[in-house]
Amino acid sequence: MPKVKRKKKPVRKKINPDDFKNSRPQPGKLPTFELQNVVATFNLGVDHLDLRAIALEKPFIEYNPQKFAAATIRIRTPRTTALAFASGNMVCTGAKTELESRLAGRKYVRILQKHGIPVSFRNFKIQNIVASAEIPHTLKLIELSKAYGPYVSYEPDLFPGLVFRTTEPKLVFLLFRSGKIVITGAKSRGEIAKTFKSLFFGIIVNYIDYEDTSTSSSDYRAKMRRRTNKK
């Protein structure tokens, strides 16, 4: 029997924000975004930390190996939390800017040094920046998901937000019916600024809902279902 040729699956194109940088800006001002959390890592310059011994002697450190493998340290200015691992690595979270994150990392090292622990501040690196923005309009999430189905994830019965992923740089945008946007995965403020501008003027402005101002996700889904059933 002759072999039946199988049809090749169409290659999905990845969405690159640079594709929209030359898009003609539509009416509307680019919303400002604010950094909500900066997560950074750094090394203490040692191969091993005896977390149990340190936690027994020092009151500023919390350590419960039955719950989590890292010890916890907190400072008030800047208000952050650090996780110290036995390998000598630390993770700092809670800072609102890149500078605050670096400053907090140095403060944690200084606290350990003051208590006689021979450590140093090395290999500081920002791993993730979370930001948020607010559009003063509601968004047509269902229409957007239909237009960019292969590139977005929208399961309103499980999660009210639409997940939009970009490839260069690799960022994740959470779009909500109310117009709120959460951005995560960035390594710098510049990545967020460039990608958000391209995405806003290239895609998001086309799905602003000027007719229905209801911010309720459940009401919006119900209306869209009624429209579909009428058809």
Given a cut of 80, whether residue 27 has pLDDT beyond it is: no
Fold agreement (35-126, 135-230): yes
Given a cut of 50, whether residue 1 has pLDDT beyond it is: no
Residue 163 pLDDT: 94
More confident residue, 43 or 156: 43
Residue owning tokens 């290999």: 123
Above pLDDT 90, what percent of the chain?
66
Residue 25 pLDDT: 41
Confidence of residue 23 (pLDDT cuts 50, 70, 90): very low
* SS3 of residue 192 by DSSP: helix
Q: Which numeric CATH code is attached to 135-230?
A: 3.30.310.10
Residue 213 pLDDT: 72
Q: How far apart are CA 162 and CA 151, in angstroms?
A: 11
Given a cut of 60, whether residue 81 has pLDDT beyond it is: yes
Residue owning tokens 């008030």: 76
CA dist 77 → 59, 106, 121, 218 (Å)? 18, 12, 18, 40
Domain ranges across the chain = 35-126, 135-230
- Count the residues in the chain: 231
Residue 209 pLDDT: 87
Phi, psi of 228 (to 5 degrees): -65, -40
- State the CATH class of domain 35-126: alpha beta
Confidence of residue 205 (pLDDT cuts 50, 70, 90): very high
Q: How far apart are CA 214 and CA 73, in angstroms?
A: 43
Q: What is the pLDDT of residues 117-164, one digit of tens each?
A: 999 999 999 999 999 999 999 999 999 999 988 779 999 888 999 999
Given a cut of 50, whether residue 79 has pLDDT beyond it is: yes
Q: How far apart are CA 184 and CA 173, in angstroms?
A: 7
